[in-house]
Amino acid sequence: MATGIKDKVAIIGMGCTKFGERWDVGAEELMVEAFQECLADAGIEKNEIQAAWFGTCFDEVNVGKSALPASMTLRLPNISVTRVENFCASGTEAFRGAVYAVASGAYDICLAIGAEKLKDIGYGGLPEFSSAMGTLNGLWFPNATAPGCFAMLASGYAAKYGIDMKDLKNAMAHVSAKSHANGVLNPKAHLRKAVTEDKILNAPMVAYPLGLFDCCGVSDGAACAIVTTPEIAKSMGKKDFITVKALQLSLSNGEEIQYSAWEGDHFVTTSKASAEAYKEAGIKNPREEISMMEVHDCFSITELVTMEDLHISERGKAPKDIMDGFFDLDGKIPCQVDGGLKCFGHPIGASGLRMLYEMYLQLHGRGDQRQIKDPKYGLTHNLGGFPMMNVCSVAIIGKHDV
């Protein structure tokens, strides 16, 4: 009988670069920047790492295929390194590989590193996707982009709950304004400028109904984590260390996009992954027990709808919670404490680890100006792909003794 991952693996070190348009450096420098911080934080030597997982998504316009870019850049000691790619969950996938390897007893100390250099393509937005979707999909999939696909969710959500698009846009604007306010407080964030809801609402349209400020930053960056067992963490003299409470993944199986039950108003995968994660972590009432969250706010509407799929807001009630300030920095469950994808930025392969990094800092009381009072559980969430076909990861971490 499986017993889940709770408290089986400790995070003993983390690192994260400044995210942004890092014109002056490549993925290699970014990886080293995050890794050096992580090694120092863990207080171990590089040679103590026994296996590594490397997450990156758009390898074609980034580092290229395989895990060699990570192994060679970090000069890892000829250990096993695995490259993982699962859309926007790639960073969390790398973490999952390292965590499961330790939990299995195969290794004592593992590294998860995610990196993405997105700004070497010459145009705004994510890299064009048509040559990466396979030969058959290429013959028929619509001429879609990420903002367009998530914009569709707004039309489905508004139709399902009979909400006027204007009112939905107001709630979406609050989502973005809150993340901008948080980003101001974070020196590592890509975008560090407060933006008013008025400005957000009047921005040029990217994909109806998403305007420019409904979309997250496209950034370069890297983040990493070193994990081991709680026993080894203790033997290293670590006190108050952080352990993994839950780690779940859920993938679409085609029902949303091909079967006739889904109404285009929510994320099937997030509903499932979060429910499983709460069960794994022993959380009964997430609205009361989760202290803070970093969710996949690739677009404002994604964050809005995700609040319901994480079982924090009731169905159809996320706009109200948002407007009530429930997810603001001083609200009941601060969300996107570090600025989120929206303002911290979104180098895809690094994002899952960057979210964990913020939760890790907060749990250690190292949140600086953004520090939340006595956080217990931090939840992270990634959503890769499109609302109707996606990969979702949910992780929950907290102090070991909790």
Partner 1 sequence: MVGITSYGGYIPRLRLNRMVIVQNMAWYFPVIMAVAQGEKSVANWDEDALSMAVAAAYDCVTGKDRKAIDGVYLASTTLPFSDRLNSDVVATALNTKEEGVSCADYTGSLKSGTTAAISAIESIQAGSNNNVLVVASDQRGAKMATMYEMFLGDGAAALLFGKDDVIAEFKGHFSLSCDFVDHYKACGKETDYTWEERWVRDEGYAKIIPDAVAGFLKKYGMAIGDFDKVIFPCYFKREHANIAKKLGLDPSKVQDNMHEVCGDTGTSHPFVMFISALEEAKPGDKILVASFGQGCDVLAFEMTDKIKDFKGPIGIKGSLANRVELASYQKYAKFRDLITADLGIRGEANPNTSLTTLWRNRKMILGLVGGKCKKCGTPQFPAAPVCVNPDCNAVGEMEDYEFADKPGKVLMYTGDMLSASVDPPAIYGLVGFDDGGRMFVDFTDCILEQTKVGLPIKMSFRRKYKDDMRGISGYFWKAIPQVKE
| Contact yes or no for 363/357 (Cβ under 8 A) | no
Q: Using the rule CB under 8 A, give the single segment among 106-114, 259-267, 354-362, 373-381 that binds partner 1.
A: 259-267
Residue 200 sits in the site that holds partner 1 (CB under 8 A): no
Residue 208 sits in the site that holds partner 1 (CB under 8 A): yes
| Contact yes or no for 59/320 (Cβ under 8 A) | no
Residue 166 sits in the site that holds partner 1 (CB under 8 A): no
Tell the smallest beta-carbon distance from residue 163 to partner 1 (Å): 12
Given the complex with partner 1, which of 2 and 136 has the nearer CB atom?
Answer: 136
Catalytic residue among 180, 346, 381, 400: 346
Residue 61 sits in the site that holds partner 1 (CB under 8 A): no
296 is catalytic: no
Encoded tokens for 115: 């990196």
Tell the smallest beta-carbon distance from residue 179 to partner 1 (Å): 20
Exposed/middle/buried for 332, CB within 10 Å: 0-12, 13-18, 19+?
middle
φ/ψ bin of 293: left (φ > 0), alpha (ψ from -120 to 50), beta (otherwise)? beta
88 is catalytic: yes
Residue 131 sits in the site that holds partner 1 (CB under 8 A): yes
| Contact yes or no for 11/397 (Cβ under 8 A) | yes
CA atoms within 13 A on the CB side of 294: 30
Q: Using the rule CB under 8 A, give the single segment among 38-46, 94-102, 156-164, 225-233 that binds partner 1.
A: 156-164
Binds partner 1 by CB under 8 A, chosen from 65, 77, 120, 130: 130
Tell the smallest beta-carbon distance from residue 2 to partner 1 (Å): 23
Residue type, 82: T
Tell the smallest beta-carbon distance from residue 142 to partner 1 (Å): 4
Tell the smallest beta-carbon distance from residue 200 to partner 1 (Å): 17
Binds partner 1 by CB under 8 A, chosen from 128, 167, 231, 401: 128
Q: Using the rule CB under 8 A, give the single segment among 17-25, 58-66, 155-163, 336-344 that binds partner 1.
A: 155-163
Binds partner 1 by CB under 8 A, chosen from 25, 44, 61, 121: 121
Catalytic residue among 88, 149, 216, 335: 88
Residue 151 sits in the site that holds partner 1 (CB under 8 A): yes
Binds partner 1 by CB under 8 A, chosen from 106, 159, 194, 402: 159
Q: Using the rule CB under 8 A, give the single segment among 74-82, 167-175, 255-263, 363-371 that binds partner 1.
A: 255-263
Residue 385 sits in the site that holds partner 1 (CB under 8 A): no
Residue 388 sits in the site that holds partner 1 (CB under 8 A): yes
Tell the smallest beta-carbon distance from residue 164 to partner 1 (Å): 13
Binds partner 1 by CB under 8 A, chosen from 3, 23, 47, 142: 142
Which residues are at the interface with partner 1 (CB under 8 A)?
121-125, 128, 130-131, 135-136, 138-145, 147-149, 151-153, 155-156, 158-159, 204-208, 210, 253-255, 257-260, 263-264, 386-389
Catalytic machinery residues: 88, 346
